Structure 1
Amino acid sequence: MMIPRLLKRILCGLTFLFAQAVFAADITVLISDQHGQPLNNAVVEVKTERPQARSALPLAIMDQVAKQFKPLVLVVEQGQQVNFPNSDNIRHHVYSFSETKPFQLKLYSGQPEAPITFDNNGVVVLGCNIHDSMVGYIYVAKGGMTIKTDESGQAMLKEITLPAEITVWQPLQAAPLEQTQRISLAENSPSSLQVTINTTAPTPRNTFGSKFKGGND
């Protein structure tokens, strides 16, 4: 006796759902430096060929407080806009020479004229042309699951489908800043993954010069 076509479809659908459930897992990624110290502000991205399309991305905020970028590392999605409010009572001149998104917001206080759109995925290093100690980072993800580690160096990946590939990145890494470390996760990967990133002290950055600095410190 032949199984009706409708029943076959139902069985195929249940088989697919069961397979998805079997290979969906929660994985905790623990990131530390070469000395075993946990690294916060590391970014873990689950790579995907077809990121889920979103009709509207919220406006992200990279603030400037006490001559520092807040947060130090901002994670956004490709195509997302970022606003750069200046919450200090002095002017800042925000810029980036990064290939992912070169731009500058010339001397301003309060709100800039318009947000900046980050169309390309990659890492954007921010500086202030007035205050050399200011440095910040924008990590532009392709649109898949992307998590930033907390103070304990942990990032929880919820219900990811295995096998999968992830990348890890951290602003103090010894490797070039545009480079990410790729890690493959198998179907039988453990629920906890330890990753080491070799770090180095940040190097001095070049700025446009000192011609804008007078009266702004």
Structure 2
Amino acid sequence: MALSLAAAAHGAGVNVAVADPAGRPLVDAVVMLEPAGAKAAVKPMAGIEISQRKRQFHPSLTVVTVGTPVTFPNFDTVRHHVYSFSPVKTFELKLYAGVPATPVVFDQPGAAVLGCNIHDRMSAWVVVVDTPYFARTGADGRARVEGVPPGSYRLRAWHAGLVPGQDPAPQTLAIGPADTDAGIRLPVAAGSAP
């Protein structure tokens, strides 16, 4: 009994299964729970890095909260020119080696695609969320969001393969003191699912 009361005081867990239209699990989808009422307080994250190694971004998908500064250390022996022209965050870190002096602050929610002007095959995503309740799916297409207080929430999901203009409508979830299970299918382009 004490354990269940302690769990309820900290919030429930929400298990979300994300699949493509055919029902195949989607790896690297981002799920977000947005309170239906008052907006939840969001704090910027600390120590977030997207490095360049062997002419690739690591990690290739990063999820951060609004206001999070991100550093882009270059561990390659060649210089990189990291940029994003996404409306969420437009920036350029022109030809550099080592670590740029100033991190890039991602201050608007949405998805920003990153690239390198020198190495065209380099790409990565930064998904910026405006909620403290989010998670990323694993190879099984499942994610678990911890510590969600009881209430009404909108479940939204993002994946790099989403067909432009076909974002699914958010689902409304009623979260109680016990764990909640949910599922969502995303309209992704052919070849996006593993």
Q: Same fold (TM over 0.5)?
A: yes
> Runs (4+) of structure 1 moved beyond 6 Å?
none
Deviations 1:141-162 (A, max 9, x none): 1142111111211111234223
Instruction: Tell whether 2:151 aligns with 1:156.
Output: no
Q: CA deviation at 1:95?
A: 0.5
Q: CA deviation at 1:180?
A: 6.3
The match for 1:31 among 18, 22, 36 is 18
Q: Unpaired segments of 5 or more residues in structure 2?
A: none
In structure 1, what is the equivalent of residue 27 of structure 2?
A: 40
Closer, same or farther: CA 75–88 of 1 in aligned 2, 3 Å: same
The match for 1:171 among 135, 160, 174 is 160
Q: Is the 8 A contact 2:88 2:112 kept in 1?
A: yes
Q: Unpaired segments of 5 or more residues in structure 1?
A: 1-17, 203-217
Higher strand share: 2
Instruction: Tell whether 2:189 aligns with 1:200.
Output: yes
Closer, same or farther: CA 140–194 of 1 in aligned 2, 3 Å: same
Query: TM-score, normalized by length of structure 1?
Result: 0.73
In structure 2, what is the equivalent of residue 85 of structure 1?
A: 73
Q: 2:152 and 2:112 mapped to 1: Cα distance?
A: 29
Instruction: Tell whether 2:1 aligns with 1:51.
Output: no
Instruction: Tell whether 2:133 aligns with 1:145.
Output: yes
Q: 2:175 and 2:94 mapped to 1: Cα distance?
A: 50
> What amino acid sits opposite 1:40 in the alignment?
V
Identity %: 33
> What amino acid sits opposite 1:93 in the alignment?
H
**Count of residue pairs the alignment pairs up:** 181
In structure 2, what is the equivalent of residue 120 of structure 1?
A: 108
Q: Is the 8 A contact 2:12 2:179 kept in 1?
A: no
- Greater gyration radius: 1
- CA RMSD of the aligned region, Å? 2.7
Q: 2:39 and 2:174 mapped to 1: Cα distance?
A: 20
Q: Is the 8 A contact 2:42 2:66 kept in 1?
A: no
Query: TM-score, normalized by length of structure 2?
Result: 0.81
